[in-house]
Amino acid sequence: MKPEPQSEAELMERAHDIAGLSFAELAEEAGMKVPDNLKRDKGWVGQLLEWHLGAVAGSKPQQDFAKLGIELKSIPISYTGKPLETTFVCVAPLTGVHGLTWETSHVRNKLSRVLWVPVEGEREIPLSERRVGSPLIWSPNQEEEHILRSDWEELMELIVLGKFDQISARHGEALHLRPKAANAKALTEAYSANGKPIKTLPRGFYLRTQFTEQILLRHYISVQQT
């Protein structure tokens, strides 16, 4: 793995250096094998980018570039530049949730400063031939922060009240909650509406594609105008 970048400028320089390169080219330099598809290797693209950019956090519950306060997010896009899937933010806490606030939440910490790296995601393009796009650095503006906070508070209230059966994909304008588990047997501890310990599927916070599409649109429109 390349050494950890010491500044945001250095990180962005590395991200620009790999823009336009294929996964095959990047994998060869990293000594990694390109999988046939991502069905069993969902995190492979992220690991490839982490290697080239020098991210050291791995799976720890902190930002990928903790010293810089920056999170790395790859985002598969279509031919027209639209995100093809929701973006995982972090695992949702299901126990010990009383007293949690937006200001100290993992979601806010992860999304306070994000390096977005678009990648070609159309399934008909062989994985080895897909290319990395032009990177952008983003922090939520006041309106985006308000939306994220409102969504988080709504979803966390349902968790605190044990109303897991009421949480659906309809909740949240930008942020939504859905099960995150390898299979239906991977249960975790939580509390029901009457306060009794229960077992339920782990949940994860995800950003909706409509939200990330607006981030990409605003950035690339502003770049074209400069």
Per-residue pLDDT tens digits for 48-77? 999 999 998 665 667 899 999 999 999 999
**Number of domains forming the structure of the chain:** 1
Digit-coded pLDDT (tens) for 162-201: 887 788 878 999 999 988 866 667 788 888 887 888 888 8
CA distance 28 to 122: 22
Does residue 69 contact residue 63 with C-beta atoms inside 8 Å?
yes
Could you tell me if residue 153 is inside a domain?
yes
Segment 86-99, tens digit of pLDDT = 999 998 888 888 88
In a domain, 3, yes or no: no
Q: Is residue 19 part of a domain?
A: yes
| Residue 114: predicted pLDDT | 97
CATH code of the domain covering residue 113 = 3.40.600.10
Residue 22 CB neighbours (<10 A): 18
> In the 8-state DSSP scheme, what is residue 201?
-
Both tokens of 178, joined, read: 């859905």
Does 142 map to a domain? yes
Domain that holds residue 118: 8-225
Residue 24 lies in a domain: yes
Which has the higher per-residue pLDDT, 169 or 20? 20
User: What percent of the chain is predicted at pLDDT more than 90?
Assistant: 65
Side chain identity at residue 164, one-letter code? F
In a domain, 2, yes or no: no
| Any domain includes 1 | no
Q: Is residue 67 part of a domain?
A: yes
pTM: 0.91
Q: Which amino acid is at 61?
A: P
